[in-house]
């Protein structure tokens, strides 16, 4: 009997998730609750008798100035361009961690969710264009491509232990690749006219930060200063300023500078009553056993999940819902394209791409994941929310089209989350093992025998 491929089974088997991944998923799930609350408040406020105060608040002029360089814009744009740079910094840190120490470092393991993510971006964009081709809303094709990891992880969290480690890793890897695609789309297709000089300054700041890392300069103030200047220069260049956060996130070292055994050895060598100097040295050594990327993410992730993203939702989810909300020219087509892309396109794209990848033996299902669960995750991936709202603000100059897109994102995200949760709950109640999901135990195999490897299982 063939044994499972170590590169796949060991990475996505039934062992517990790494601690860093569990912490990330827990923060995202809890942050999803704050996000729902903020979005609900925004909707209620914008549709209340006090809706004028909502608009006045987010259209209030704000000026940020550092010497001769400054930013003058309304509060909503300061949130979207400024605070959201911290969100994209955390996204960049998570992408870097996945590339260096996570699922994306193993091409064989990452292949299936990566291909699924591509399908989940291409099909929704195609469906949107099919509805809006030739219309004023055609530029919004990037809106239904995004997956909101906080909401998606929150849906999985409702299943508790019934959501296997392999299923969580599949969703996390899919969402990370989805984030990479969204960042590329924003950079390539939603960028204003370029100011080459400002862009050169931004690139120089990134290069200076990389040089400082090479020279082992660890003072945080150096990178904060370079990051602020890079953000300002990126803002002035016409490239969306949040990409500065992504660049600095990808720069952060994702490998620890010392193995964990060093800290353990130091701790064992301490006397029963260690001195203050010994404890200070142990703290410094222990700090070196955790990568810079993980330390920064640990500090910023709660801030972005519980403060930055909810403020973004409060600023952007306040769409006024009226009987003629979609009566403006092309607003209905935009809303239909967004809803179709998120609810149908994501489910079809992720599931079909996954099936094609397995059929062509480009990837294999994790041993503890079944096809009904893949369908459920594909539906949950249709919760676009944060990044979809973000792209909607970039895609349109016409506020009627933007409001139509945002309204569709909100409705489609609710539908996708409920449908996905229902499918995942049904799959969990079914209690089907991967063996039964892919054809059952082979004839003649004895009870308790090792389950066929994912490659053989998938190919059947």
Do residues 20 and 121 share a domain? Answer: yes
CATH number for 364 = 1.20.1530.10
- Domain membership of residue 1 (yes or no) is no
- What is the structure's pLDDT at 341? 96
Do residues 130 and 275 share a domain? Answer: no
- Domain membership of residue 237 (yes or no) is no
Do residues 271 and 370 share a domain? Answer: no
Do residues 111 and 172 share a domain? Answer: yes
- Domain membership of residue 71 (yes or no) is no
pTM of the predicted structure, to 2 decimals: 0.75
- What is the structure's pLDDT at 10? 40
- Domain membership of residue 375 (yes or no) is yes
Q: How many CB atoms lie within 10 A of CB 162?
A: 15
Do residues 362 and 418 share a domain? Answer: yes
- Domain membership of residue 209 (yes or no) is no
Number of domains the chain contains:
2
Q: How far is it, in rounded angstroms, from Cα 145 to Cα 341?
A: 8
Domain residues for the domain of 267 are 263-290
- Domain membership of residue 87 (yes or no) is no
Do residues 336 and 424 share a domain? Answer: yes
Do residues 145 and 275 share a domain? Answer: no
Do residues 282 and 341 share a domain? Answer: no
Do residues 285 and 360 share a domain? Answer: no
- Domain membership of residue 268 (yes or no) is yes
Do residues 334 and 393 share a domain? Answer: yes
SS3 for the chain is CCCCCHHHHHHHCCCCCCHHHHHHHHHHHHHHHHHHHHHHHHHHHHCCCCHHHHHHHHCCEEEEEECCEEEEEEHHHHHHHHHHHHHHHHHHHHHHHHHHHCHHHCHHHHHHHHHHHHHHHHHHHHHHHHHHCCCCCHHHHHHHHCCCHHHHHHHHHCCHHHCCHHHHHHHHHHHHHHHHHHHHHHHHHCCCCCCHHHHHHHHHHHHHHHHHHHCCCCCHHHHHHHHHHHHHHHHHHCCCCHHHHHHHHHHCCCCCCCCHHHHHHHHHHCCCCCCHHHHHHHHHHHHHCCCHHHHHHHHHHHHHHHHHHHHHHHHHCCCCCCCCCCCCCCHHHHHHHHHHHHHHHHHHHHHHHHHHHHHCCCCCCCCCCCHHHHHHHHHHCCCCHHHHHHHHHHHCCCHHHHHHHHHHHHHHHHHHHHHHHHHHHHHHHHCCCHHHHCCCCCCCCCCCCCCCCHHHHHHC
- Domain membership of residue 204 (yes or no) is no
- What is the structure's pLDDT at 11? 42
Do residues 29 and 142 share a domain? Answer: yes
Do residues 22 and 146 share a domain? Answer: yes
Q: List the chain residues with pLDDT less than 70.
A: 1-19, 66-70, 103, 161, 258-289, 323, 325, 430-460
Phi and psi at residue 61, in whole multiples of 5°? -75, 140
């Amino acid at each position: 009997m063939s044994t499972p491929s170590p590169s796949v089974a060991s990475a996505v088997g039934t062992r517990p998730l790494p601690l860093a991944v569990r912490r990330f998923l827990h923060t995202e799930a809890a942050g999803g609750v704050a996000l729902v609350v903020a979005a609900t408040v925004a909707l209620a406020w914008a549709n209340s008798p006090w809706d004028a105060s909502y608009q006045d608040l987010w259209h209030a002029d704000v000026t940020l100035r550092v010497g001769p360089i400054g930013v003058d814009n309304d509060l909503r744009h300061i949130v979207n361009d400024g605070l959201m740079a911290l969100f994209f910094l955390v996204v960049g840190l998570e992408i870097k961690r996945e590339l260096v120490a996570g699922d994306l470092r193993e091409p064989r393991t990452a292949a299936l969710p990566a291909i699924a993510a591509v399908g989940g971006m291409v099909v929704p964009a195609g469906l949107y264009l099919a509805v809006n081709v030739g219309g004023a809303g055609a530029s919004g094709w990037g809106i239904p491509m995004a997956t909101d990891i906080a909401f998606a992880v929150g849906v999985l969290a409702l299943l508790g232990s019934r959501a296997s480690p392999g299923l969580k890793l599949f969703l996390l890897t899919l969402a990370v690749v989805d984030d990479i695609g969204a960042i590329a789309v924003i950079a390539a297709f939603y960028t204003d006219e370029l100011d080459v000089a400002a862009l050169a300054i931004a690139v120089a700041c990134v290069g200076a930060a990389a040089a400082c890392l090479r020279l082992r300069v660890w003072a945080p103030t150096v990178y904060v200063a370079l990051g602020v200047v890079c953000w300002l220069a990126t803002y002035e260049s016409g490239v969306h300023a949040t990409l500065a956060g992504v660049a600095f996130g990808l720069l952060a070292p994702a490998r620890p500078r010392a193995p964990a055994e060093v800290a353990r050895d130091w701790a064992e060598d301490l006397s029963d009553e260690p001195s203050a100097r010994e404890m200070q040295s142990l703290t410094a050594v222990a700090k070196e056993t955790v990568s810079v990327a993980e330390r920064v993410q640990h500090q910023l992730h709660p801030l972005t999940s519980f403060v930055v993203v909810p403020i973004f939702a409060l600023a952007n989810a306040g769409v006024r819902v009226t009987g003629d909300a979609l009566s403006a020219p092309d607003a209905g087509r935009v809303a239909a394209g967004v809803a179709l892309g998120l609810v149908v396109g994501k489910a079809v794209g992720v599931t079909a791409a996954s099936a094609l990848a397995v059929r062509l033996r480009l990837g294999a299902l994790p041993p503890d994941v079944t096809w009904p669960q893949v369908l459920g995750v594909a539906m949950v991936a249709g919760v676009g929310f944060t990044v979809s709202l973000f792209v909607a603000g970039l895609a349109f100059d016409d506020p009627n089209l933007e409001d139509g897109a945002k309204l569709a994102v909100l409705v489609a995200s609710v539908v996708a989350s409920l449908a996905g949760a229902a499918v995942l709950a049904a799959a969990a109640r079914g209690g089907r093992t991967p063996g039964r999901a892919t054809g059952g135990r082979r004839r003649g195999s004895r009870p308790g025998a090792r389950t066929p490897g994912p490659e053989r299982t998938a190919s059947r």
